[in-house]
Chains A and B, each alone.
Chain A
């Protein structure tokens, strides 16, 4: 294969596969993690302070764990669930789940509002909020990084239509959503992300 040709002329569709092959061939080749990795990781871990019994107890409480139930209990739970589904909406009160079984907060009562999931990779951030024309550019909606992996997510109610928005990191730094489908100039030299929300999306 003549690799030179890949970058010496305009790259067409036919060249794409050959270029990918060149990437693979020239990729930094790892022969495995360095032999000292395990020793250093374990030494660093051993040096960490022991968690107190209270911290471990709290961790145990929030740790996800499978729930095992006997078939008899399972049948009883299903019967109870079916009973709840047949109860009229009004009898559950204004904040209860309706007959469609949808939990409050996951589906808007107002049919003209759609909940949009926002996601931002920001491993070094301590807080992330979203602001846009739907919030009068106030960072009213905070995103969460529940598992501490640096991915911040949150669901925000937005009316159908075309909107612009940005993320506010640590309360000071504005960042454009790298995942947006479209962008528009904000008039200050930056780009807003553009969000199109269809009714009933």
Chain B
């Protein structure tokens, strides 16, 4: 029986660049969920998130030849998406996060009173997060919501760990001030 060995990311990238467009499907399957999760947390809107992921993956295909490290194409695609998310957040600056549409994607609680209280908390927390700069919001989401390490984030965002820590520190400070204002 012929054993089917899964292609590495680098092999997939090479195949795509050699003309096998359909091989790109493997990258969509491998990284689609991760990309969508980040886009949803950054935009708070499942439709916006899906659109951004689609655009990022198509852009990734078009620019694939410029991916310097095909073994880490997942991180490269993430970076494309992350920049598009920041652009989206920046373009709607001043507009509140569409929490009503987030609700359907949140973990549910059948208690109506608890739902109301939970929505209020979510509104305060995520409203404050939406008031940060896109860069601060991204750093906070990656570090504290997605639970990534500084090293992981720095590698993905092409920042030094020191610069990243400074950005996270600023996000914490700004968030703390915003939440105190709401209190």
Contact = CB atoms under 8 A, between A and B. Distances in A.
A59 B17 contact: yes
Contacts of B63: 147-149
B80 A44 contact: no
Interface in B38-57: 40-41, 44, 46, 49-50, 53-54, 57
Given A45-B58, A121-B86, A146 B41 contact: no
Nearest to A41: B57
Interface stretch (A1-9, A107-115, A187-195): A1-9
Interface size class on chain B is 35 or more
B4 interface: no
Interface size class on chain A is 35 or more
Contacts of A38: 25, 28-29, 32
B83 A150 contact: yes
Interface in A7-57: 7-11, 16, 19-20, 22-34, 37-38, 40-42, 44-46, 48, 56
A151 B83 contact: yes
Contact of B41 (A28, A48, A64): A28
Contacts of B145: 23-24, 27
A101 interface: no
A123 interface: yes
B33 interface: yes
B87 A123 contact: yes
A146 B158 CA distance: 13
B183 A10 contact: yes
* B interface majority secondary structure: helix
B47 to A, nearest CB: 9
B96 interface: no
B7 interface: no
Contacts of A30: 33, 36-37, 40-41, 46, 49, 105
A115 to B, nearest CB: 16
Given A33-B53, A41-B28, A22 B19 contact: no
A19 B179 contact: yes
Contacts of B76: 147, 149
A149 B83 CA distance: 8
A181 interface: yes
Contacts of B58: 41, 44-45
Q: Which 7 A-B pairs have the closest CB atoms?
A: A33-B32, A150-B83, A30-B37, A33-B36, A123-B83, A147-B66, A26-B122
Interface of B: 17, 19, 21-22, 24-25, 28-29, 32-33, 35-37, 40-41, 44, 46, 49-50, 53-54, 57-58, 61-63, 65-70, 76, 79-80, 83-84, 86-87, 102, 105-107, 117-118, 121-122, 124-126, 129, 133, 135, 144-145, 147, 158-159, 163, 166-167, 172, 176, 179-180, 182-183
Given A19-B179, A26-B121, 18 more contacts: A3-B117, A7-B121, A7-B183, A23-B129, A30-B37, A34-B36, A37-B36, A40-B54, A41-B24, A41-B61, A42-B28, A45-B58, A121-B83, A147-B63, A150-B87, A151-B79, A151-B83, A178-B133
